[in-house]
Amino acid sequence: MVAKSTLAASLAWVVSFYVLDAQSPAFAPFSAVMIMYVTVYQSVTQSLRYVGAVASGVAVQAALGFLAGPDMLTFVLVAVIALSIGRSRVLGVQGPQVATAAFFAFSTYSSATDNLTRITQLGQIVLLVLIGCAIGTAVNITVVPPLRYRSAEHSVRMLAQALHDLTGDMHPVLRDGAPEEETIRRWRERAAQTDQLISQARAGLSTAKESVHYNPRRLLRRHRGHITFQGYETVLNALERTLQQLASLMRSLDQWRQEENEYNYRRFFGRYAAFLEAISEIAEALSTLDEAHLAQQTQQLADRTRTAQERRREVAEEAEAQLLPLTDPARPYGVLVVEATRLMEEVQYTSDTLYDWVEGMSEAADV
C-alpha cells in the first residue's frame, strides 16, 4: 500500500505540476493517497464520495462568495452550510471533506484579484481532485489489486482459536471435579471478550467479500475458487453460535453451588471433561484451516467430530448410570447434558458444512 500510494501520488504530482502547471498542485497527490483503500471496491466508492464532498464544498463557497464577497460573515455562512452538508449519510466518512474543501476554496477565493481568476482556481481545485482520484483508483486497480480472500480464512481461524483456548482450559479443571466459583468467573469473563473477536472476524470476512468487487484478479483462473465465501460465512456463523453455547454452559455452572456429596459425581465431570477435550481438538483443527489443504483437513475434522459425538453419548450415559438429579433445576447435571447436546449440534453442523463445501468445490473443479 505504501508503494502504490507513492506511485499514485507521484503520477498525480507530475500531471498537476508539470502538465497543468496548477497553482495548488498538491490537491491531486493528496486525493490520490486519500482514496487508496485496502480493496478496489472501497477505492471506487470512496473516490466518488470524496469528489462529491469536495465539489459540494467548492460550490458552497463559490455561490456565497460571489453573492456576498469574501468577508467574515460569508466565511461563517460557508462553515455552517458546509458542516451541515458534511453530516449527510450519503457522503459517509468523506463528509468532513466538504468543510475542508470549502475552507481551502475560501482561501483561494479571497487571495484572487478578479472574478475570472476566482472561477478558474475554484474549478481547478475540483479538476485536481478528479485527477488525483482517477489516478489513485487506476493504480489500485492495475497494480496488484488487493484480493483479501485470506481474510475470510483468518476470521474462521480467529474464532476457532478462541474456542480452542476456552475449552482447553476447561477440560483439565472439570476432570478434577466441579470447578470453583472464581474459576468459572474467569471463564465467563474470557467468554464475554469473544464478542470483540466475533466483530473482528466479521469485519475480516466482509473485507474479503468486498475485495472481489471490481477486482480484475478475480478473473484469473487460480483465484476463481476464492470468489465464493459462502462456506467461510456459514462456518463463521456456526463458530459464533458455538461460542455462545459455550458461554451458556459456563452460566449453567456459575449458577450452581457445590453440595456436600459433590464427590460422588466426579465420574460425570470426568466424562464431561473428555467431551470438552474432544471439542477442543476440533477447534484446534479449525484454527489451522487452509484452503489449499481443505480436503485432508475436512476428513480429519470428520474423524474428530465422530469422537466428540461418542464422548457426548458417554456423558449422557454416565448421567443415567449414576442416577443424577437431571430434573432438579438447582443442580447443573441435567442442564449440562442439554448444553453438551446443543454444543455438539453446532460442531456437527460446522463439520458437515465444511464437508459439503469441499465436495461442491471439487465438483465445480471437475466441471
Q: What pLDDT sits at residue 295?
A: 77
Q: What pLDDT sits at residue 174?
A: 82
Q: Which amino acid makes up residue 327? A: T
Cα atoms found within 13 Å of the Cα of residue 243, Cβ hemisphere only: 28
Q: Which amino acid makes up residue 21? A: D
Question: Domain extents for the chain?
Answer: 2-142, 149-366
The C-alpha atoms of residue 211 and residue 229 are separated, in whole angstroms, by: 11
pLDDT tens sequence across 128-144: 999 999 999 999 988 88
The C-alpha atoms of residue 194 and residue 200 are separated, in whole angstroms, by: 10
Tell me which long-range contacts 177-184 makes (C-beta under 8 A, separation of at least 24): 177/262, 177/263, 177/265, 177/266, 177/269, 178/253, 178/256, 178/258, 178/262, 178/265, 178/269, 179/253, 181/254, 184/250, 184/253, 184/254
pLDDT tens sequence across 310-361: 999 998 888 777 766 666 655 666 777 888 888 899 889 888 888 777 776 6
The CA-atom distances, in angstroms, between 343 and each of 60, 278, 348 are 59, 12, 9
Q: Which of 255, 272, 280 is nearest to 319 (CA)?
A: 272
pLDDT by 10s per residue, the chain, length 367: 899 999 999 999 999 999 999 988 999 999 999 999 878 888 899 999 999 999 999 999 999 988 888 889 999 999 999 999 999 889 999 999 999 999 999 998 888 888 888 899 999 999 999 999 999 999 998 888 777 767 777 888 888 898 999 999 989 988 887 777 788 888 888 888 888 888 888 888 787 777 777 777 766 544 444 445 667 787 888 888 888 888 888 887 776 544 434 545 678 888 989 999 999 999 998 888 777 777 788 888 889 999 999 999 998 888 777 766 666 655 666 777 888 888 899 889 888 888 777 776 665 555 4
The C-alpha atoms of residue 211 and residue 251 are separated, in whole angstroms, by: 39
Domain 149-366 is found in CATH 1.20.58.220: yes
Q: What pLDDT sits at residue 364?
A: 54
Q: What pLDDT sits at residue 248?
A: 83
Q: What pLDDT sits at residue 331?
A: 62
Check the CA dihedral 241-246-252-254 and report its sign.
negative
Q: What pLDDT sits at residue 224?
A: 45
